[in-house]
Amino acid sequence: MSRFVVISGCSGGGKSTLLAELGRRGYRVAEEPGRRIVHEETERGGSALPWMDMAAFLRRAIAMSLDDRVSAGTGEGWVFFDRGLVDAASALQQLTGEAVLESIAQIHRYYRRVFLTPPWPEIYVTDPERRHVLDAAVEEYERLLKVYPALGYDVSILPKMPVADRADFVLKALGESTRTAV
> By C-alpha distance, which of 106, 118, 105, 82 is closest to 5?
82
CA pair distance 136, 140, nearest whole angstrom: 6
**DSSP H or E segment with residue 133:** none
Tell me if 179 is assigned to some domain.
Answer: no
Tell me if 45 is assigned to some domain.
Answer: yes
pTM of the model: 0.88
Tell me if 155 is assigned to some domain.
Answer: yes
DSSP 81: E
pLDDT of residue 174: 95
The single-letter code of the amino acid at 77 is G
Chain centroid, CA 20 distance in Å: 13
Beta bridge partners, 47, equal: none
Tell me if 121 is assigned to some domain.
Answer: yes
Looking at the 3D structure of the chain, how many domains does it have? 1
CATH code of the domain containing 154? 3.40.50.300
DSSP 130: B
Tell me if 178 is assigned to some domain.
Answer: no
Q: What is the pLDDT of residues 75-86, one digit of tens each?
A: 789 999 999 899
Tell me what the pLDDT averaged over the chain comes to. 87
Tell me if 48 is assigned to some domain.
Answer: yes
35: containing domain: 4-173
3-state secondary structure of 7: strand
Q: What is the pLDDT of residues 106-161, one digit of tens each?
A: 899 999 999 999 876 565 566 556 555 656 777 889 999 999 999 999 999 999 99
**DSSP H or E segment with residue 1:** none
Tell me if 181 is assigned to some domain.
Answer: no
Tell me if 182 is assigned to some domain.
Answer: no
Banded model confidence at residue 70, pLDDT cuts 50, 70, 90: very high
